[in-house]
A and B are shown apart, each in its own frame.
Chain A
Amino acid sequence: MPNLNINGRNMSVEAASDTPLLWVIREQLQMTGTKFGCGAGLCGACTVHLNGEAVRSCQTSLADAVGKKITTIEGLSAKGEHPLQKAWVAEQVPQCGYCQSGQIMQAAALLSKNTNPTKEEVVAHMDGNLCRCMTYSRIQKAIMRAASDMRTASATGSERRAT
């Protein structure tokens, strides 16, 4: 039985190695925050992190995920307090909310490398994630807010370390 490292825990699963990671996460591990949208890598609703990179779990086989660190929306932060999640609430981003786990995971991969993105970088990074409610402008605002919060936190953290 393959072992998956997901949200910091090792879990054994039972599925054929070509099974899309999406369905293993949703059905076997019953973590339903990761969503099925198109099954073809065209909408981004199923986005998770594989070793910190945003990937489409509907296009990732179980075999490809074994031995890597998988992070889902449930594991992005212990209490749902990632700066992006807080910003998503502050900007009141979600409408139906179905795509938002994927949007947040996609955005988190960007901010983990770049906490000062330009608007163009945000659009380029996020353009593969569809939102049928068309909450795009709030998504942009929330990403900028979270980036700003992360820069402030990191500046404060550096000052503390410096003193």
Chain B
Amino acid sequence: MNKHVKNLAPETTDLSRRSFLVGTAATGLVLGYAGSGIDQALAAPAPANFEPSVWYAIAPDGLVTVTCGKADMGQHVASTMAQIVAEELGANWKDMRVQLASNDPKFNDPVLGAQITGGSWSTMMNFDAMSRAGAAGRIALTEAAAASMGVPAGELVVRDSKISHPKSKKSMSFAEVVKSGKATKTFTADDLKAIKLKSPDQYTMIGVSVPQLDIPLKVNGTAKYGIDVMLPGMVYGALVTPPVRYGATVKSVDDSAAKKVPGFIKAVTLDDKTTTTTGWVVAVANTYANAKKAAAALKIDYDGGPNAKLSSESLLTEAKRLQGLSDSGQFFVKDGDPNAAFGTAAKVLEAEYTTNINIHAPMEPMNATAEFKGDILHIYSGNQFATRSGAIAAGAAGIDPKFVVMHQMWLGGGFGRRLDADMMVPAVQAAKAVGKPVKVIYTRENDMTMDFSRPLTYQKVKAGVDGDGKLVALSHDVVSAWPTQRWGIPDFLSPSVDKKGPLDAFTVNGSDFFYTVPNHYVRAIKNEMAHNATPSGQLRSVAPGWTFWAVESMVDEIAHATGKDPALLRVELLDGKGKNDGGAQRLRNTLLAAMGLAGYGTKKLPKGEGMGVACVSSQERATASWTACVAHVAVAPSGEVTVKKLTVATDVGTQVNPDGIRAQVEGAALWGMSLALFEKATLKDGGIEQTNFDSYTPLRMSQLPEVAVNVIANGEKATGVGEPAVTVVAPAIGNAVFNAVGARVRGLPITAEAVKAAMKA
């Protein structure tokens, strides 16, 4: 598993000296960690090893406002955090409100020690902290109410924002307790740890599909995204990005024609010492329309740099070369000795699997607004990684990160794209150059061609089967750019098992599956050429989006080579032996649930139709949501694939909001389908060729299949749902195509041409 980080930023250590606070401030009851001013005055003596949590406040009118430290990009995580707090606090859902946190380290994730949203981690990593925060509030309110009523606290019942004493029929609302000013109680770290939380049978809020708190704002146009920020005196920046994705430099800028555009202020050539961007110019003007006109009028001469001749083909050729070297890469898994086992195996299968470059393309194009006010740089943007993005903004400004305030907004889609901070650089440097707040908005063309994309990947898998048809050896090489290494944060890397230095586990997660294979190697190989030419990012589901494409296709190939049913072979491999005990059984059960729901093997399908299965432990071994899919497809003689139905089962342990989970799983499954069939980007002459939704074509409504979702909540700890279902769909579709027409396609996306070619082969 990956060892995730704590204390990314030095200031996070300050939190160990903070104490959980329940006290009445002028504005109402505040729960959280004392930082300064009035809060500090109420704080208790310093407890040791204290883990941070988020704040919430109860106003004198009884409204409970939860501050969410996670980026809300449509997964309704703010609402989820509020729901977990409300369960233990005993608040009525109609009293709950949410707001989005700034980059103040007090809002850091309690497990990750930073403000970063990804990995489908948020619910699992914040569940305990939010529960304890909620419970602490209930205890403080109850004790205050007991004192006011003159009854023992142990006899009080808390429900629906009300504290009642059944014996005397006395009761007080949360609002009344807050107004009384008597709720003052401080919790040390040990006090918090000692709180006995509810057992699942006592839940009245967790497991209920309460309405998501952000939805009303999103049907009437009032939700504010980064692109909607308006500041007094603000001007606009439009980008000119070079024809080469990375490595170009600006030789000269001729702004003589731009100067004729009304409202034009200045062309700013970025001097990006953070190396996030290369060769970018911002045209600044009084309106965005004028900024765009000015940008179009700039005449810029570039040096294309070292990557200007590279293409997708060159990246793939390089990947194959690297894979062929015996000493390249580092080992992620090294069990037994597959090479020896291949020598004695009855049958050896070998296959290459590829995925093309993919673009995030959230509907809200990248943007950021920067304003220098006194010593402070204010950034307004929807971002998934405030801790790092604030530091990049500081680097672009040439100031210390502690002087940057990040104002979080709703994200018009994230999908991993907003983990990156490139948009900070033009906004900051333009604001500095013109002495005014500047909002920089990417055109869709900027957004697509400068994406931190899912990298092109190449995988070679070799499998050995013994005389009984048992899988005895598997070696798996994964060659890609290393998106997480690019962040430059050593704590996000993992040690290699062959002790050849750290590797980027976010390129190989998933390959350490729960099947029992006695001899198993996984090698992570960095494609330096791709890494430099196409700076890659984390695209919804990250590595399991390609590793399971290879593994789950190969398992299918093994089934056919050994005459076994592909689903039943998986059941056999999920025997729960050794290190796979526990997880393997959960995944097996999930697979069986999906098979049952889909009617797998129970009906004869018409000619040209087929069903395929896949099952995954995404995102990481230690954070898995057990997910299985049965895809039902129809394949035309032309090779065109129509997905008739996707049946997805997922074991999430505990579900906070069942309807929200279904929405995420369905969205994730459709992402998986879109990546499997419709989305492909290509590099040519160092640049991404696709520029808008005419050439990069995510799934539209007319391509929507039937989707059946089965969520298994068995009382285990809550896991994540934003990504895992993405990773199970492509192999399920590929396997279904094989089942339908006997065509094995090993490259994503699966095109009609590739299917037709494989049908003939």
Contacts and interface: CB of A to CB of B under 8 A. Distances in A.
Contact of A100 (B218, B236, B443): B218
Among B227, B414, B660, residue most surrounded by chain A Cβ atoms (within 10 Å):
B227
A118 to B, nearest CB: 14
B364 A20 contact: no
Given A97-B223, A98-B364, A38 B692 contact: yes
Interface stretch (B615-623, B700-708, B711-719): B700-708
Interface string B278-302: 0000000001110000000000000
A137 B225 contact: no
Contacts of A34: 221
A135 B698 contact: no
A73 to B, nearest CB: 4
B217 A134 contact: no
Interface of A: 15-16, 19-20, 23, 26-28, 30-40, 42-43, 45, 72-74, 80, 85, 88-89, 92-101, 104, 123-124, 126-127, 129-140
Majority SS at the chain B contact face: loop
B288 A27 contact: yes
B216 interface: yes
B460 to A, nearest CB: 32
A16 B288 CA distance: 12
12 contacts: A35-B227, A38-B692, A39-B692, A40-B444, A42-B692, A92-B660, A96-B73, A97-B219, A131-B701, A134-B671, A136-B670, A140-B701
A98 B700 contact: no
A33 B221 contact: yes
B702 A132 contact: no
Contact of A92 (B236, B663, B698): B663
Question: Lowest 3 CB-CB distances: which A-B pairs, in order?
Answer: A33-B221, A97-B218, A98-B412
B715 to A, nearest CB: 25
Contact of A23 (B74, B211, B287, B663): B287
A37 B692 CA distance: 10
Contact of A135 (B211, B225, B412, B663): B663
Given A39-B444, A134-B667, A30 B694 contact: no
Contacts of A73: 220-221
Nearest to B448: A38
A89 B221 CA distance: 13
B254 to A, nearest CB: 23
Majority SS at the chain A contact face: loop
Contacts of A38: 444, 692-693
B219 A96 contact: no
Contact of B75 (A19, A95, A123, A139): A95
Contacts of A93: 215, 219
B287 A74 contact: no
A96 B412 contact: yes
Given A35-B364, A45-B363, A137-B707, A132 B443 contact: no
A98 B364 CA distance: 7
Interface of B: 73-76, 211-212, 214-225, 227-228, 230, 236, 262, 287-289, 361-365, 410-415, 441, 443-444, 659-660, 663-664, 666-667, 670-671, 674, 692-694, 698-702, 704, 707
A99 B664 CA distance: 17
B702 A131 contact: no
A127 B410 contact: no
Given A137-B666, A137-B707, A97 B217 contact: yes
A73 B693 CA distance: 23
Contacts of A138: 663
Contacts of A131: 363, 701
B363 A132 contact: yes
A30 B230 contact: yes
A127 B700 contact: yes
Given A96-B413, A132-B363, A134-B667, A89 B219 contact: yes
A4 B616 CA distance: 55
Nearest to B671: A134
B219 A37 contact: no
Given A30-B230, A34-B221, A134-B670, A43 B693 contact: yes
Given A19-B289, A42-B693, A92-B211, 7 more contacts: A32-B224, A35-B225, A38-B693, A40-B694, A98-B413, A133-B413, A136-B670
B228 A127 contact: no
Contacts of B211: 89, 92
A94 B228 CA distance: 18
Given A15-B287, A37-B444, A97-B412, A89 B693 contact: no
Contacts of B664: 95
A23 B289 contact: yes
B660 to A, nearest CB: 8
Contacts of A101: 221
A132 B362 contact: yes
Nearest to A120: B702
B570 to A, nearest CB: 27
A27 B287 contact: yes
Contacts of B74: 94-97, 133
Contacts of A40: 444, 692-694
B699 A134 contact: yes
Nearest to B73: A96
A94 B371 CA distance: 31
B709 to A, nearest CB: 11
Among A43, A98, A138, residue most surrounded by chain B Cβ atoms (within 10 Å):
A98
A88 B222 CA distance: 15
Contacts of B219: 80, 85, 88-89, 93-94, 97, 100, 104
Nearest to B699: A134
A94 B221 contact: no
B756 to A, nearest CB: 26
A124 B698 CA distance: 17
A96 to B, nearest CB: 3
Contacts of B75: 95
A135 B670 CA distance: 9
Given A39-B444, A127-B701, A74 B363 contact: no
Given A35-B412, A135-B663, A96 B693 contact: no
Contacts of B288: 23, 27
A99 B225 CA distance: 12
A137 B212 CA distance: 18
Contact of B212 (A26, A74, A92, A126): A92
Contact of B220 (A74, A132, A133): A74
Nearest to A101: B221
Contacts of B704: 136-137
Contact of B413 (A39, A124, A132): A132
A31 B220 CA distance: 11
Contacts of A43: 363, 444, 693
A130 B413 CA distance: 12
Given A39-B444, A74-B221, A132-B413, A97 B289 contact: no
